[in-house]
Amino acid sequence: MEWYRFIIFGRVQGVFYRKFVSQTMMKNQYKGYIQNLSDGTVEVVAEVFDDDFDTFLQILKKGSLLSSIENIEYQVISEATFTADGFEIRY
């Protein structure tokens, strides 16, 4: 299990992307958060088990019906600076 930080590029703001991802992550019992960034991208920080990584990434790639994902960058976070009981949208 690792904590990851994902940055999602494309048409992801104002198209219900955060809502879709957060609801799907809660159904799948992931922990973390999603938030819009000022540059038009979306950030996701989440705890992901190694065997679930591909499933997690597919959820981010799918997005809402109106979203269009161009690229996803990610990195492992060595120490998460917060605790999460579920998956939340941050504003």
Catalytic residue among 5, 28, 36, 90: 36
Find out whether 7 and 43 touch, Cβ atoms under 8 Å.
yes
Q: Mark whether 18 is an active-site residue.
A: yes
Catalytic residue among 5, 18, 71, 90: 18
Which DSSP letter does residue 19 get? H
Q: Mark whether 36 is an active-site residue.
A: yes
Q: Tell me how far apart the alpha carbons of residues 67 and 52 are, in angstroms, rounded to a whole number.
A: 23
For residue 20, which of 34, 9, 8 has the smallest C-alpha distance?
34
Residue positions annotated with a catalytic role: 18, 36
